Structure 1
Amino acid sequence: MLNLENIKREYDEILNQLSSPELISDWEKFEELSKKKRHLEKIMEKQKEIDQIKKEMEENKSILSSGEDSELAELAEGELKTLIIKQENLEKELEEMSKEKEEAIPRAVIVEIRAGTGGEEAALFAADLFKMYSKYAQLQGWKQKVLDSNPTGIGGFKEVIFELKSAGAGGGNVFSKMKWEGGVHRVQRIPATEKSGRVHTSTASVAVLPKPQKTEFIIKPSDLKTDVYKSSGPGGQYVNKRETAVRITHLPTGLVVTSQTERNLLQNKENALAILEARLLEKRETESEEKMGDKRRTQIGQAKRA
């Protein structure tokens, strides 16, 4: 039986530790605490769903016991049966979730959309793609989180990076459904910014990167250089006056990632690290495929006619 008070107490303690200024230089401890935080958040979110179901069940039981008209009672009885099944399924998911290790985070993807040729129209097209994938994620029951973005003044995006992940064990494989979206997308239309009615061609690139499991990819803290600076995007005086934006440089590869979408420095740091891990995994897999290709070409080149 889960002790939610203990879970909430542990979660609050982790938040206090994550807010410590000393933690900014201790990446290993930061990753460990971040994993625990995400794991506990999953459990608490699932418990909230169960509590809501129980509340709705009590409301339907109240209708049945009050002797309301038969039609309303029939509806309440039918809904109560559905809620009982939902509660059983959610409690099973919660039980499985509580047995998981912190590392067992559902497989997720990092999606990067960048405006290509076409100026402001390309940025608007990138925003359209983002809205399309957001709607698709909603229909699939996935969770979405924006990690970084560079919006334009008229509602477009020069770049937007976001995470998609399954909301539970039954949410399906996100990567298998999204991987074919990678590549250059093109649209021909009359832009909203075009006054003469001419058709323009605009492009936007989409990259779909599998988010590494914590057990399959470890970054050495000594390989990272972290810079913090004031956010340049919207968000009010708070983000513009405080150093909440994060830039991380992976020294061995020279890869640089940024995040400034959140009002919180530590959350932006988590987001930037997630982007970096996905890009490093892609780089490693690409290099592995290239080596296999070179080896195959070498073997084919050595073949002789009998």
Structure 2
Amino acid sequence: MLDRLQYVKQRFDEISDLIIQPDVIADQKRYVQLNQEYKSLNALVQKREEYINLDSNIKEAQEIIADGSDAEMVEMAKMQLDEAKERLPQLEEEIKFMLIPKDPEDAKNVMVEIRAGTGGDEASIFAGDLYRMYTKYCEGRGWKCSVVDMSDGTSGGFKEVIFEVTGEDVYGALKYEAGVHRVQRVPQTETQGRVHTSAATVMVLPEAEEFDVQIDMNDVRVDFFCSSGPGGQSVNTTKSAVRLTHIPSGLVAQCQDQKSQHKNKDKALTVLRSRLYEQELAKKQEEDAKTRTSQVSSGDRSAKIRTYNYPQGRVTDHRIGVDVFDMDGVMSGKIHKFIDELQLVANTEKLKESEVY
């Protein structure tokens, strides 16, 4: 353990020197990558210090007990030894998980796309519920959400909503939300009290930096059109909304949430870049069946990752078999239990495959 942590300390010291070098600061891509690695290693270096102090305390306490000349000191040393021995295995487990190689995408911001699937108007209403659930969760994490594009449902909610989430290690948490979410409840429009099943699809795309994906604007068709929906006097009067079509791939991205045509174009370009980046990632991950099946792209209710059963007040995550009987809490953004469990399962699998044990 200490040998591995010594390597971490050496690498941390090396990066500490590198990130203040003018040539590194000038190289944006390298500077960002090194800063991310610095942040990750910094946490491990602090754990290393705790581990060294704990190991030292154990040896010191054992020496005092072995000497036995001062009864009061021996009693204190025994208490110190018990505390240290109780903490040591916990600390070792924490360090093992931290030593697992991180997915470089985990630190990225994301684009979240929610689309109504099976179920008509009720599916659109549920898509709106999911949007509010995620914005509440993100607020609790101190992350910032901003809408990029939306298409309102005819009876509320959204046919589609795309929003950006920025903060620390966003993709590492939200990537587990990608897939089909199913809801079972009595719709507001149902007069006979029958339970209906509807679905919405969630896609989570890591946001690509300019140096991740180079887009030749000669390959992009730019169309301007009038915004729709709420937005004040400029709606339907000025062509501030922007649609970008990437001709080689056929991918389309649009934004109409900003009043400025220029800002809408920038946001649409960010979405397009993220979709192209995710497309490239998908190719690399094709051999990994688990990763591919977690990124469900259809609105079919049978390909579900989670079910929200309102009559029973139960939310079930089918990948890990976890039930939470707190519908109001979950829909208010309390989805930590699902995400924490999914991260734990994923890290445990990585741990078994790695050389840490």
Aligned positions of 1:122-161 closer than 5 A: 122-161=123-162
For 2:214, which of 207, 213, 218 is the aligned residue? 218
8 Å CA contact 1:233, 1:260 repeated in 2: no
Return the alpha-carbon distance in structure 2 between the equivalents of residues 185 and 265 of structure 1: 34
Deviation at 1:292, TM superposition (A): 8.7
Correspondence 1:230 to 2:231: no
CA pair 145-195 structure 1, distance change in 2 beyond 3 A: same
Deviation by residue 1:119-177 (Cα, 9 ceiling, x = unmatched): 110000000000000000000000111000001243310000001111xxxxx311111
Bigger share in helix: 1
8 Å CA contact 2:225, 2:239 repeated in 1: yes
Amino acid at match of 2:252: V
Aligned positions of 1:279-294 closer than 5 A: 279-290=275-286
Amino acid at match of 1:257: A
Correspondence 1:179 to 2:175: yes
Deviation at 1:195, TM superposition (A): 1.6
Return the alpha-carbon distance in structure 1 between the equivalents of residues 287 and 196 of structure 2: 41
Aligned positions of 1:174-213 closer than 5 A: 174-213=170-209
Amino acid at match of 1:196: Q
Q: CA RMSD in A?
A: 1.8
Q: Match of 2:239?
A: 243
Q: Please give the secondary structure, in 1, of the residue aligned with 2:262.
A: helix
8 Å CA contact 1:110, 1:275 repeated in 2: yes
8 Å CA contact 2:222, 2:242 repeated in 1: yes
Return the alpha-carbon distance in structure 1 between the equivalents of residues 251 and 145 of structure 2: 24
Deviation by residue 1:58-94 (Cα, 9 ceiling, x = unmatched): xxxxxxxxxxxxxxxxxxxxxxxxxxxxxxxxxxxxx
Return the alpha-carbon distance in structure 2 between the equivalents of residues 279 and 126 of structure 1: 21
Aligned positions of 1:68-87 closer than 5 A: none
8 Å CA contact 2:121, 2:154 repeated in 1: no
8 Å CA contact 2:228, 2:236 repeated in 1: yes
Q: Please give the secondary structure, in 2, of the residue aligned with 1:129.
A: helix
Amino acid at match of 2:202: V
Correspondence 1:114 to 2:115: yes
Return the alpha-carbon distance in structure 2 between the equivalents of residues 162 and 142 of structure 1: 12
Q: TM-score, normalised by structure 1?
A: 0.57
Q: Please give the secondary structure, in 2, of the residue aligned with 1:287.
A: helix
Q: Match of 1:271?
A: 267
8 Å CA contact 2:151, 2:160 repeated in 1: yes
Return the alpha-carbon distance in structure 1 between the equivalents of residues 261 and 189 of structure 2: 36
CA pair 287-233 structure 1, distance change in 2 beyond 3 A: same
Return the alpha-carbon distance in structure 2 between the equivalents of residues 193 and 260 of structure 1: 30
Deviates further, 149-158 or 247-256: 149-158
Amino acid at match of 1:125: F
Amino acid at match of 1:137: C
Return the alpha-carbon distance in structure 1 between the equivalents of residues 163 and 176 of structure 2: 17
Unaligned runs of 5+ in 2: 1-27, 29-106, 290-357
Deviates further, 229-238 or 184-193: 229-238
8 Å CA contact 2:205, 2:275 repeated in 1: yes
Return the alpha-carbon distance in structure 1 between the equivalents of residues 266 and 138 of structure 2: 22
Q: Match of 1:162?
A: 163
Deviation at 1:191, TM superposition (A): 0.8
8 Å CA contact 2:110, 2:206 repeated in 1: yes
Among all aligned residue pairs of Structure 1 and Structure 2, give the percentage whose two residues are the same amino acid: 48
Amino acid at match of 1:136: Y
Q: Please give the secondary structure, in 2, of the residue aligned with 1:241.
A: coil
Amino acid at match of 1:155: G
Deviates further, 228-237 or 133-142: 228-237
Deviation at 1:261, TM superposition (A): 1.6
Return the alpha-carbon distance in structure 1 between the equivalents of residues 227 and 173 of structure 2: 34
Q: Match of 1:81?
A: none
Q: Please give the secondary structure, in 1, of the residue aligned with 2:187.
A: coil
Task: Give the number of the structure with larger relative contact order, counting CA–CA contacts within 8 Å between residues 6 or more apart.
Answer: 2
CA pair 243-286 structure 1, distance change in 2 beyond 3 A: same
Return the alpha-carbon distance in structure 2 between the equivalents of residues 238 and 143 of structure 1: 26
Return the alpha-carbon distance in structure 2 between the equivalents of residues 270 and 196 of structure 1: 48
Return the alpha-carbon distance in structure 2 between the equivalents of residues 248 and 239 of structure 1: 20
Return the alpha-carbon distance in structure 1 between the equivalents of residues 262 and 281 of structure 2: 29
8 Å CA contact 1:116, 1:205 repeated in 2: yes
